[in-house]
Chain A
Amino acid sequence: MNKLGFRTVVTALLIILSGYFLFPTFEWYRMSDDEKAKAEQAKDPIIGKTLNLGLDLRGGTHLLLEVDASKLNEKVAIKDAVARAVEIIRNRIDQFGVAEPLIAKQGDRWIVVQLPGIKDPKRAKELIGKTALLEFCLVSTDTDALNKIQAKMSEKKLSGAAQASSDPEIAKLIPEGYFIADSKENGRVYLLKKATLTGAYLVNAKVELASGGFGFPHVSLEFNQEGGMLFADITGANIDRNLAIVLDGVVQSAPVIRSKIPDGRAIIEGNFNSEDAKLLATVLRAGALPAPVNIIEERTVGPSLGDDSIKKGFSSALIGVAVVLLFMFIYYGFSGLIADFALCLNFFILMGVMSYFQFTLTLPGIAGIALTLAMAVDANVLILERIREELNLGKTSRVAVDAGYDKAFVTIFDSNLTTLIAAVFLFQFGTGPVKGFAVTLTIGLCISMFTAIVVTKLIYDFLFKENFINKIKL
């Protein structure tokens, strides 16, 4: 620790490394909006290297989803279902086109989804939340049973298939192997045979404009070989019956089978607008979720509030730090300047570390930086006050500086470590923006131990050695 050369090398290395890691961020902010858009399209490697801004600063949506275990097929373990759901949601989001999404499992049955910078959070929620279980079900020809069910429903004033199925009297009327489902058009319910052909057999789904007609878009489906064979069998054996296309328990349409369909292709019609059709095709391509998911937490920040937060956050942090720097200079004079230099270095290295580890900078995180710097002063204050005491005892400047650093070290170590305990548990248990605060607090504290003790001592040693100063006034 005492060799001047070694400490200089370590310090220089840290500065250079921080500059290197921060360079992409500088480049990024120097680009114009057009250039940024281009870089994004070209998937320029710079994008993965810039400082990560949290959703509260760049705008976007954070969702926490819960997999509804009660509606899960009994044979499937919840763990596998969640893993599968994560995969499918990722597929859907990738096809939707969101830059840098985060999709991850949290706890036993929760899934975190973060979508930075999306403009239409409502549509995104539909995209993620749709179970997208597609079934092809034969419509029952037993009109007698259906009439009885509907009569009972209107008698009991039940609306919807879900309410009706849970009514014990109606449940008795439903034949074995059949179920009732709502239709997309209001009021009617269908009596349907349980499905053998589902969306699991799909290889593709895309939007097409109906030729003729009124140009309503429809979704065309393509089955894999096995599904195509099943489809051919079903259509071949049931000519002139209705085949219902059921999505998430709701009948979309129930066309009459005119002839056997051997090529494994089908079409979903409905009064879609083109956006709806696109969404449906996307979720069908990505596959069905193993069980429905519910949104249990949402945090959406619009881009204008994000911009506003960045401006206010940064300007208040900058002013705060500037005031502290000024205060240190006024109170301690030249020695205050050395402490100020250490603070600036602390900030620089902190940002470098954040870039390297891809930590996320949030609004509380910015506040955390300002606070960390205000607190990092403490180490220098402790040292300088110690040096002052030593000077008062009549020691020479050089001896007083050495003694000041020696005696203050234990105190700085103990006090920073206890603060670190608080910061680490805040990191452990914090979520979202609060976690961003804990990150800057923790890293800043660790760096301040280095900059405030090692770097400032290095400067004093250098100045004394080269005889630039020989006296310290405090």
Chain B
Amino acid sequence: MQFFKTPNIDFVGKRYIAFTISIILLALGILGLTVKGPSYGIDFSGGILMQFSFNKDVQLDVVRQGLSSQKNLDFELQSTGKQGIIVRVKKTDKSQEEMASEISSVLQSKLADTQITTDRVEYVGPAVGKHLSKQAMYAFSFVFMGIIVYVAFRFKSALWGIVGVLALIHDVFVTFGVMVLTDRQIDLTLVAALLTIVGYSINNTIVLFDRIRENLRLIAKQSFASVINVSINQVLGRTIITSLTVAMVSFIILVLGGEVISDFGLALFIGNAIGLFSSVCVCAPLTYEWEKRKRDRFKKNNSLKK
């Protein structure tokens, strides 16, 4: 079986369409970050998360009312089905013990005849929150640097590495923006998802670069633009199939994985799609633009000398 014979799409010629889509996506990300603002989970902001389950259905509003009557308790409520809730409290001066016992006692008094089980408690102190944010920043910086160095070394051109990483930053930024716009918590699991997207997206880009490198040797007579086009079309089938398998798995994690990792599945699903787009439509044409300008400048210099 084969979805399509090797196609013949003029990616380089249509590059401005791809660039426009990219810019719209980036604008969406910026919009998410500036207008809406990211909602950092307690991993980074510090605070407490408590997850409870009950032996009967519970109205979210009842719990909300009860917690609202507490002083200095800036909380967020999330339901996990009819018989479960998650309470998040960020940025308080209260100690962990105070917060935990306050929340528990409110639930007990409001839901007197319900059996309450504490399924999960996560507390992150402010110092740890800062530490974890720093770790996440380090992880991204080192990954990006590592990839630039490796690609520069293997392809003998820092340019390709930089273009690859630019596309990655694009993928991470847009995915991050979509997660913010859809009201997801920015926490450690999301960071893990974003780094995985980085890994998978660069994978696609490398496969493409690899083909370009090979074709530059094989069909050197053709123009740079047509070498890029041929290469993209040759690896298109593979790239789509691999992205499809990743999409299937992340979609199933999103739907069936349970509330702890469903956001993780969502981030991967979105990031995988954006990574596919940027690797195929943006990366190589961006390389083309760059190379073309370099050559133009080179020609100009030469003609001036004459």
Contact = CB atoms under 8 A, between A and B. Distances in A.
A438 B192 contact: yes
Given A302-B120, A375-B245, A422-B195, 17 more contacts: A300-B122, A304-B119, A312-B256, A312-B257, A316-B252, A323-B249, A333-B1, A370-B252, A415-B202, A418-B202, A421-B199, A425-B195, A426-B195, A429-B138, A430-B192, A434-B189, A438-B192
Contacts of B150: 417-418, 421
Given A297-B124, A309-B260, A324 B1 contact: no
Interface string B246-271: 10111011011110110011001000
Contacts of A370: 249, 252-253
Nearest to A66: B127
Contact of B120 (A295, A301, A410): A301
Interface residues of A, number: 74
Contact of A430 (B154, B188, B204): B188
B126 to A, nearest CB: 8
A422 B137 CA distance: 13
A374 interface: yes
B207 A382 contact: yes
Contacts of A411: 206-207, 210-211
A56 interface: yes
B143 A421 contact: yes
Interface in B109-124: 117-124
Nearest to B254: A316
Given A305-B51, A367-B261, A426-B195, A374 B139 contact: no
A302 B242 CA distance: 37
A414 B6 CA distance: 23
Contact of B139 (A317, A428, A441): A428
B146 interface: yes
Contacts of A358: none
Contact of B203 (A407, A415, A474): A415
Say whether chain B's binding surface is mostly helix, strand, loop, or mixed: helix
Interface of A: 56, 64, 66, 121, 294-302, 304-305, 308-309, 312-313, 315-317, 319-321, 323-324, 327-328, 330-333, 363-364, 367, 370-371, 373-375, 377-378, 381-382, 385, 388-389, 407, 410-411, 414-423, 425-426, 428-434, 437-438, 441, 474
B38 interface: no
A334 to B, nearest CB: 12
Given A297-B124, A367-B261, A422-B199, A414 B154 contact: yes
A378 B242 contact: yes
Contacts of A426: 139, 143, 192, 195-196
B282 interface: no
A411 B155 CA distance: 12
